[in-house]
Chains A and B, each alone.
Chain A
Amino acid sequence: MLGSRAAFALFVAVLAVVPQVAPAFWVTLGNYIGLYSIVALGLVLLTGVAGQTSFGQAAFVGLGAYTTAYLTTKYGTSPWLALAIGMVITAAVALFLGFITLRMKGHYLPLATIAWGISLFYVFGNLEMLGGHTGMSGIPALSFAGFELKSENRYYYLIWAITLASLWATNNLLDSRPGRAIRALKGRLEMAEAFGVNAARLKIVVFVYAALLACISGWLYAHLQRFVNPTPFFITQGIEYLFMAVVGGAGSVWGAVLGATVITLLKQVLQDVLPWMFGRSGNFELIVFGILMILLLQFARDGLWPWIERIIPRRMPPPVPPAEPLPARDRATRAGPLLEVRKARKQFGGLVAVNDLSFEIRPGEILGLIGPNGAGKSTTFSLISGAAALTSGDIRFRGESIGGAPPYEIARLGIGRTFQHVKLIPQMTVLDNVALGAYLRGGSGIVRAALALDGAEEARIKAEAARAIARVGLADHTFDAAGSLPLGKQRIVEIARALAADPMLLLLDEPAAGLRFLEKQELAALLRSLKADGMTVLLVEHDMDFVMGLTDRLVVMDFGEKLAEGQPADIQKNAAVLEAYLGSVV
């Protein structure tokens, strides 16, 4: 049996041996595969993980290549300084493009990058100082401390060292505090923001990261070729980079290497075979590429890597080691209610969804907010959690106004929530999903994470998550993919995720919806035991049986107004409530 470490060691060994035994042509191909892998890796992160995309990566490659070409030939700048300058320019451009597109829907970034890719190509081609369409030659070879990289073989080792380093950094990043947030960007924005992720900013950061990888690849390319012209940086190449990421499998860092390899070799073969098949030359590989791509998307949208991954057996991860707990919240009790809703009002145009509603939640109780469909329960929930803005009125948490605060601010103050439609990241483990809940309790950023300097904090976050998972009784599922669990367990994972944030108040949005009888009983038992530990819970529900046995008090809503408030037993006898639920008794 081959473990993943052994597979990796074998891969590196083969890489190291190639230049010693294989013909020069293979080394050249290997160089290109390495250069392409670095670019595709950025796209794996951007497209596969964060759900954004760019067709303009080739232009960032060009920016890296042209910066060093210009500075080293015209001013004799050191290539290493030119790399730094190129990266600064690239980051600035990417920041700007990201800023203007990433706050909007997903398709504006790709369109903007197409325009950017084309524009830069024409700028390169038309600027005299950059050599126009003929390009620039005489770029010096790289050297470190007097050791000059004169041959392709020597570049091969540098290129692959950088490729492996990028893979290592990106892999670290994915398994970290910012990495979990990045993985939530694809279709789970609302959830991520509820746990304190600044999604718009993070998207831009990921885009910049991908652009910087492309820039590094371009810098290497310029010094390998010792010559640059605009052609390899046109939009066509940008599209090919995206194909590499998609073919390889945009969900795994190794998909980038696989995709770069497959596309490079396939192109080589097709360019030899197709003209012979068609009896004349032409861009026939374009036709084949396009068709393969469409077939791949129709039949295997996750690319080729998952098939290879299946061959490499996974070892059962070791149990999460205990670590010092993360700093806990100051829970000093204060007089008065934990949460006060004061004349909260929400209007959608002429429709008053919540009409001057007031109620309070006392520390340590389970309060049920119930009412018939359309009563305004979910809107009230959104007002408290910050997902919707108050029209008027106020909401106070521990005496402090939170009306109008953004969701992450509300999370920071100690209000945890779950979602009516479960919002877990299905392919991520339960542990990682729950660890995302502790996002606000850590502080490691992208750079620390990529360089694996976040080990101590990460261990504490993981231990905290494992503790929350054990608390809700799912320890056996710690390393299962969240999406593989039944709905009832997924709901409980959501509670564990909320607990990982160390909340004082738990907001649960219809937690019993869609659950079977036994699952409801388990959920009720869990909520009771949380209450016994001192947790305060607000339950929005319309399953009467479920709330009756569980809650301390009930607030009943109808048509956006409070209809009744009191003990469950009294509410059951309340004539107004009976009328609202069952119709009037004549």
Chain B
Amino acid sequence: MDLSIAALLAQDGITNGAIYALLALALVLVFTVTRIVWIPAGEFVAWGTLTLAGLQTGVAPGTLKVLVGMAVIAGLMEAWGCVRRGQAGRLPRRLAAWTGVPVVVAALVWWLAPMQLPLPVQVLLTLVTMTTLGPLLYRVAYQPLAEASVLVLLIVSVALHFTLVGLGLWFFGAEGSRTPAFSSTSFTLGGVNISVQSLLVVASSLALIGALALFFGRTLYGKALRATAVNRAGARLVGISPDFAGALTFALAALLCGFSGVLIGPITTVYYDSGFLVGLKGFVGAIIGGLSSYPIAAAGALLVGLIESFSSFWASAFKEVIVFTLIIPVLLWRSLTTTHHEEDE
């Protein structure tokens, strides 16, 4: 391997790593606020790509059907909850939020889809669709079990992963999709060829991470989520609804994952079931961060990207093996430095 190949691999690794970093952040966010190990994050990545690919060809993506279906189920659940608690007066507002908004979003995207609008608008539509889907998923699958153990929530995640993969095959078909690159130009810097696409991926990941940092540091809602992550019961006592925190977390996480999907689309062909492995690579990053530290998780994800890139050069058949066995030394190190184990009921 000479320097130019190394530079190329590093560039690939950093590009992929930046995408995994978004995922790792989403996973840490979801885990700290809701205790959910969010296995289906990968499906949101794949659906992000496939939704954008649908919009590219001027077809209303299957995601919209899922969106409307979930909105109806969420509406029914809200209605049942309000009736059972004798709070029928709250129902109109809740229905507007849980069913009305998603249906309007779906209708808008469905109406705009055939117009084949410019790429940035399509990206925006994709992100709006995915971000709306996140809270619905939380409402329907997780919220009724919000107080259950981490283990039960994890099994729900896995079940949900199965369901979403099945739905993905149904709505997107078995064929893979690739979305066009944002830019096909490249330039040479110090003898190394750098593609503008890679720069755009890294820059937009950084921008999103920066926006997230601002959200958590400066806004009331961001602080509310941080408070929930630190102490759920305490946050509840000062008026932060855990249901709201969960929904908001899933909106943000869905946005991050959907955005990863948009970024990964031009790099690799995405199939309905591609999300699982991509999501797990995000998990490797998140585990390096102990499912609690954002910066270490992001750095870990970058490391995963680099290792993947270099191992695909040296031992491409064992690329996945190498990436996933990476967590063994990480866990070993964590285990040896953890002095106590906690009661986890």
Interface positions of A (Cβ within 8 A of B): 47, 51, 53, 55, 99-108, 110-112, 114-116, 118-119, 122-123, 126, 186-187, 189-190, 199-200, 239, 242-243, 246, 278, 282-291, 293-294, 297-298, 301
Q: Is the CB of B163 within 8 A of A287?
A: yes
Q: Given A55-B158, A284-B170, A293-B155, is A118 in contact with B280 using a C-beta cutoff of 8 Å?
A: yes
Give bound CA distance, A116 to B327, whole Å.
9
Known: A189-B341, A278-B170. 17 other contacts (CB 8 A): A51-B151, A53-B155, A102-B341, A103-B338, A104-B334, A107-B37, A111-B283, A115-B325, A118-B277, A119-B320, A122-B320, A287-B162, A287-B163, A289-B159, A290-B164, A294-B160, A301-B152
Q: Given A47-B151, A104-B335, A115-B280, is A293 in contact with B159 using a C-beta cutoff of 8 Å?
A: yes
Q: Given A111-B37, A111-B327, A189-B341, is A297 in contact with B166 using a C-beta cutoff of 8 Å?
A: no
Chain B residues with CB under 8 A of A290: 159-164, 166
Chain A residues with CB under 8 A of B341: 102-105, 189, 199-200
Give bound CA distance, A297 to B148, whole Å.
10
Q: Is the CB of B148 within 8 A of A282?
A: no
Q: List 24 A-B contacts (CB under 8 A).
A: A100-B332, A101-B331, A104-B334, A104-B341, A107-B344, A108-B334, A111-B283, A111-B287, A115-B327, A119-B324, A122-B321, A200-B341, A243-B159, A282-B170, A285-B166, A286-B162, A286-B165, A287-B170, A290-B159, A290-B163, A293-B162, A294-B141, A297-B156, A301-B152
Chain B residues with CB under 8 A of A111: 37, 283, 287, 327
Contact partner, A118, options B141, B169, B320, Cβ 8 Å: B320
Which 9 pairs from chain A and chain B are nearest by CB? Answer: A290-B163, A187-B345, A287-B166, A286-B166, A293-B159, A290-B162, A115-B324, A126-B317, A106-B344
Give bound CA distance, A116 to B159, whole Å.
19
Chain B residues with CB under 8 A of A110: 37, 151, 154
Q: Is the CB of B154 within 8 A of A107?
A: yes
Q: Is the CB of A114 within 8 A of B280?
A: yes
Give bound CA distance, A100 to B337, whole Å.
11
Q: Is the CB of A190 within 8 A of B343?
A: yes
- B212 interface residue (CB < 8 Å to A): no
**Interface residues of B toward A: which range?**
35 or more
Question: Residue among B145, B150, B159, B277 with the most chain A CB within 10 A?
Answer: B159
Q: Which residue of B lies closest to A298 (CB)?
A: B144
- B28 interface residue (CB < 8 Å to A): no
Q: Is the CB of B151 within 8 A of A53?
A: yes
Q: Given A282-B169, A294-B141, is A189 in contact with B158 using a C-beta cutoff of 8 Å?
A: no
Nearest chain A CB to B134 CB, angstrom units: 17
Chain B residues with CB under 8 A of A239: 158, 162
- B328 interface residue (CB < 8 Å to A): yes
Nearest chain B CB to A79 CB, angstrom units: 28
Q: Given A112-B328, A118-B324, is A282 in contact with B166 using a C-beta cutoff of 8 Å?
A: yes
Q: Which residue of B lies closest to A123 (CB)?
A: B321
- B318 interface residue (CB < 8 Å to A): yes
The DSSP consensus for interface residues of chain A is helix
- B175 interface residue (CB < 8 Å to A): no
Q: Which residue of B lies closest to A101 (CB)?
A: B331
Question: Residue among B37, B163, B169, B342 with the most chain A CB within 10 A?
Answer: B163
Q: Is the CB of A99 within 8 A of B335?
A: yes
Give bound CA distance, A122 to B318, whole Å.
7
Question: Residue among A55, A106, A286, A301 with the most chain B CB within 10 A?
Answer: A286
- B130 interface residue (CB < 8 Å to A): no
Q: Is the CB of B154 within 8 A of A100?
A: no
Q: Is the CB of B166 within 8 A of A112?
A: no
Chain B stretch 280-325: residues in CB contact (< 8 A) with chain A: 280, 283-284, 287, 291, 317-318, 320-321, 324-325
Chain A residues with CB under 8 A of B37: 107, 110-111
Question: Residue among B155, B160, B280, B324 with the most chain A CB within 10 A?
Answer: B155
Nearest chain A CB to B153 CB, angstrom units: 9
Chain B residues with CB under 8 A of A278: 170
Q: Given A100-B335, A115-B327, A189-B343, is A284 in contact with B166 using a C-beta cutoff of 8 Å?
A: yes
Q: Which residue of A lies closest to B277 (CB)?
A: A118
- B167 interface residue (CB < 8 Å to A): yes
Encoded as 1 (CB less than 8 Å from any A CB) or 0, chain B from 243 to 272 comes to: 000000000000000000000000000000
Q: Is the CB of B344 within 8 A of A105?
A: yes
Q: Which residue of B lies closest to A278 (CB)?
A: B170
Q: Which residue of A lies closest to B31 (CB)?
A: A107
Give bound CA distance, A284 to B169, whole Å.
8
Q: Is the CB of A286 within 8 A of B335?
A: no
Q: Which residue of B lies closest to A51 (CB)?
A: B151
Give bound CA distance, A242 to B156, whole Å.
11
Chain B residues with CB under 8 A of A55: 158
Chain A residues with CB under 8 A of B338: 103-104
Give bound CA distance, A291 to B284, whole Å.
27
Q: Which residue of B lies closest to A114 (CB)?
A: B280
Q: Which residue of A lies closest to B338 (CB)?
A: A104
Give bound CA distance, A297 to B141, whole Å.
10
Q: Which residue of B lies closest to A110 (CB)?
A: B154
Q: Given A103-B338, A119-B320, A242-B158, is A297 in contact with B145 using a C-beta cutoff of 8 Å?
A: yes
Give bound CA distance, A100 to B325, whole Å.
13
Encoded as 1 (CB less than 8 Å from any A CB) or 0, chain B from 3 to 37 comes to: 00000000000000000000000000000000001
Contact partner, A107, options B150, B174, B327, Cβ 8 Å: B150
Nearest chain A CB to B178 CB, angstrom units: 22
Chain A residues with CB under 8 A of B317: 122, 126
Q: Which residue of B lies closest to A191 (CB)?
A: B343
Q: Is the CB of B156 within 8 A of A294?
A: yes
Question: Residue among B37, B162, B167, B324 with the most chain A CB within 10 A?
Answer: B162
Give bound CA distance, A47 to B163, whole Å.
22
Give bound CA distance, A118 to B280, whole Å.
10
Chain A residues with CB under 8 A of B328: 100, 112, 115
Q: Which residue of A lies closest to B286 (CB)?
A: A111
Chain B residues with CB under 8 A of A100: 328, 331-332, 335
Q: Which residue of B lies closest to A236 (CB)?
A: B162
Give bound CA distance, A291 to B144, whole Å.
14
Give bound CA distance, A578 to B165, whole Å.
69
Q: Is the CB of B148 within 8 A of A286?
A: no
Give bound CA distance, A284 to B171, whole Å.
11
Give bound CA distance, A287 to B165, whole Å.
8
Question: Residue among A112, A116, A290 with the most chain B CB within 10 A?
Answer: A290
Nearest chain B CB to A157 CB, angstrom units: 34
Q: Which residue of A lies closest to B316 (CB)?
A: A126
Nearest chain B CB to A74 CB, angstrom units: 21
Q: Is the CB of B148 within 8 A of A301?
A: yes
Chain A residues with CB under 8 A of B165: 283, 286
Nearest chain B CB to A49 CB, angstrom units: 13
Chain B residues with CB under 8 A of A105: 150, 341-342, 344
Contact partner, B169, options A51, A123, A283, A289, Cβ 8 Å: A283
